[in-house]
Amino acid sequence: MKANDWQVVCRVEDIPVLGARRVARERGVDVAVFRNGEDQVFALLDRCPHKGGPLSQGIVFGTSVACPLHNWTIGLDDGKARSPDEGCTQRFSCRVDGGNVLLDPVELATLATELEAPKAGPCR
């Protein structure tokens, strides 16, 4: 894939340090773009493999994020849950060029699109 084929989704400074920003998609769950304390940027599906918690609302530390629901630790570099937990979430190719954060548009359009975003609303 050529550099001009990548999609700019935001600037690095648009992502809070030790935080995340969500990237909406036409189908499926949003993608969370994370920034750690060393200004490294990572992209994962915004869905914990445990109970589907929004990883974008978790706390980033090192190259991991803690899910806000049950404190599972998910690796930002590989999407894998850290032991003793098991499972993984979809990782997306991500790069930084001139301060811009870029994602692969083919991955955005095709990876994990069968999963539905959680719906908020009244209990049944």
pLDDT digits (tens, 9 = 90+) for 15-27: 999 999 999 998 9
| Nearest-angstrom CA–CA distance, 66 and 74 | 6
User: Are 80 and 72 spatial neighbours (Cβ–Cβ below 8 Å)?
Assistant: no
* pTM listed for this prediction: 0.90
Per-residue model confidence as pLDDT tens digits over 40-61: 999 999 999 999 999 999 999 9
Length of the chain, please? 124
Identify whether the C-beta of residue 75 lies closer than 8 Å to the C-beta of residue 94: no
Domains of the chain: 3-110 (2.102.10.10)
pLDDT given at position 94:
96
What would the pLDDT profile of 87-96 be if each residue is shown by its tens digit? 999 999 999 9
Q: Which residue pairs, CB below 8 angstroms and at least 24 apart, start in 66-74?
A: 72/48, 74/44, 74/48, 74/49
All residues at 6 or more sequence positions from 108 whose CB lies less than 8 Å from its CB, including other chains:
7, 23, 25, 31, 92
